[in-house]
Amino acid sequence: MKRISVICPFFNEEETIAEFFAALLKVITHIPFQVEIICINDGSADATLALLCVQQKNNVAENVQIKILDLSRNFGKEAALTAGIDYASGDAVIPIDTDLQDPPELIVEMLAKWQEGYEVVLATRADRSSDSWLKRNSADCFYKLHNQISTPALPEHTGDFRLLDRCVVEALKQLPENQRFMKGLFNWVGFKTTQITYTRVARIEGESKFSAWRLWTLALEGITSFSTVPLRIWTYLGMVISMSAFFYGSFIILRTLIFGVDLPGYASLIVTVLFLGGLQLIGIGVLGEYIGRIYMEAKQRPVYLIRKKYE
Give the residues lining the site for ligand UDP (CB under 6 A).
9-11, 13, 42, 74, 76-77, 80, 97-99, 101, 203, 208-210
Instruction: Tell me the closest approach of the beta carbon of residue 122 to ligand UDP, in angstroms.
Output: 16
Determine, following the binding rule CB under 5 A, whether residue 16 of this chain makes contact with Mg ion.
Answer: no
Q: Which is nearer to Mg ion, 55 or 101 (CB)?
A: 101
DSSP string, 138-189: HHHHHHHHHHHHSSSPPPTTEEEEEEEEHHHHHHHHT---SS--HHHHHHHT
Point out which residues pair with 4 in neighbouring strands.
35, 92
State yes or no: residue 101 binds Mg ion (CB under 5 A). yes
Closest contact distance (angstroms) between CB of 10 and ligand UDP is: 5
Q: At a CB cut-off of 8 Å and minimum separation 6, what does 223 contact?
A: 145, 146, 149, 150, 230
Cβ-based nearer residue to Mg ion, 20 or 226 = 20
Q: Which does 209 bind (CB under 5 to 8 A by kind): ligand UDP, Mg ion, none?
A: ligand UDP
Of 206 and 283, the one with the shorter C-beta distance to Mg ion is 206
Number of residues that bind Mg ion (CB under 5 A): 4
Please report whether residue 99 would count as binding Mg ion according to CB under 5 A. Answer: yes
> What is the C-alpha to C-alpha distance for residues 33 and 55, in angstroms, rounded to an integer?
20
Is 101 or 158 the residue whose CB approaches ligand UDP more closely? 101
Q: Measure the CA–CA gap between 202 and 188, rounded to whole angstroms.
A: 29
The dihedrals phi and psi of 111, each to the nearest 5 degrees, come to: -65, -35
Shortest Cβ 76–ligand UDP spacing (Å): 5
- Which of the 8 DSSP states describes residue 3? E
CA distance 123 to 118: 13
What character string, x for contact with Mg ion (CB under 5 A) and - otherwise, covers 198-217? -----x--------------
Nearest approach in angstroms of CB 111 to ligand UDP is: 21
Phi-psi region of 300 (alpha: psi -120 to 50; beta: other; left: phi over 0): left
